[in-house]
Amino acid sequence: MSINITPVLLAILFSSLCIPVFSQQAMRPLPKSKNAFIVIAHRGSHLIKPENTIASITEAIDLGADYVELDLRTTKDGHLVLLHNDRVDGLSNGKGQIKDLDFEAARQLILKGKDGSIHRIASFEEALTACKGKINIYLDFKAAEAEKAYEAIKKAGMKYNVLVYVSSHSDYLSWRKTAPEMPLMSHLDNTITTEKALMQAMSKAPLEAIDNVPNETLLPVLKTMGISIFMDVQKANETPDDWMKAIKSGIQGLQTDHPKLLIDYLWQHKIRDRI
């Protein structure tokens, strides 16, 4: 996912929403994982295969990632597809916004891997099928309807294997209304630097996971509250220093562009099976 959140949760955190006061008992459980320290493959394993494709998902599974992060958008005729940007330019041989293309037109586009392999834009249903029983989904909810996405998740039998990332007030409310039991994740506003501010924010818009910590003094508070922290470290030139700096802060997982290298590093340093 991209860390440019516009808006993030500012409207949610400081609006008077009719949501129960935060309590640990009200937390929605995150998808189960066999590993204690979580590795999230950002847009799948996409160093060679195109991002958000079934091939990138399959590779993330083969590497042993705990989650695959996928970006959800909608075609002109209402089909849910995987695509990070709102345009198909650059990633494919086509041009234009995905919202202006019918599903069949989008499926005709060619996505080339760095190894010369040919791929297609994936439907959400295909992605759910590829992930079922093999890997959890970190669903970056870009531009779609919560109701339609949730129906697809339920139909695929993946109800307990998806963590939804929301970045807007409306998407937060839609998911809480549509699927109250679904765990949600977002980005805390950087103005939340005290325990009081954090508690106020979470009382208005409870989250099960976050991808940032505005102030390191909040780390023990977040841990006590049972909120998971899956930090973003994804970039082309990630280093072990980036990973260890984040790990030492006491987080529960990392989102990476280099899942294989990170997983090998975690096992080597005996971190994969502990938090």
For residue 112, tell me if it sits in a domain. Answer: no
Q: What range defines the domain where residue 139 resides?
A: 10-85+123-268
pLDDT tens-place string over residues 13-34: 333 333 333 443 458 999 999 9
Quote the tokens at residue 197. Answer: 């501010």
CATH of the domain at 203: 3.20.20.190
For residue 193, tell me if it sits in a domain. Answer: yes
For residue 4, tell me if it sits in a domain. Answer: no
Query: What is the per-residue pLDDT for 20?
Result: 35
User: How far, in Å, CA of 244 to CA of 146, rounded?
Assistant: 36
For residue 152, tell me if it sits in a domain. Answer: yes
For residue 275, tell me if it sits in a domain. Answer: no
pLDDT tens-place string over residues 172-224: 999 999 999 999 999 999 999 999 999 999 999 999 999 999 999 999 999 99
Quote the tokens at residue 74. Answer: 């909608």
Interior CA angle at 28 toward 24 and 31, to 5°?
Answer: 125
Q: In terms of DSSP bridges, do strands 38-42 and 67-74 run parallel, antiparallel, or are they unpaired?
A: parallel
Residues written for the chain: 275
**SS3 assignment, position 175:** helix
For residue 25, tell me if it sits in a domain. Answer: yes
For residue 26, tell me if it sits in a domain. Answer: yes
CA distances from 242 to 88, 209, 253 (A): 31, 20, 13
Chain centroid offset of residue 93 CA = 26
- Structural domain total, the chain: 1
For residue 92, tell me if it sits in a domain. Answer: no
| Helix (DSSP H) and strand (DSSP E) numbers for the chain | 10, 11
Chain centroid offset of residue 202 CA = 19
Q: What pTM did the predictor assign? A: 0.90
8 — pLDDT class (breaks 50, 70, 90): very low
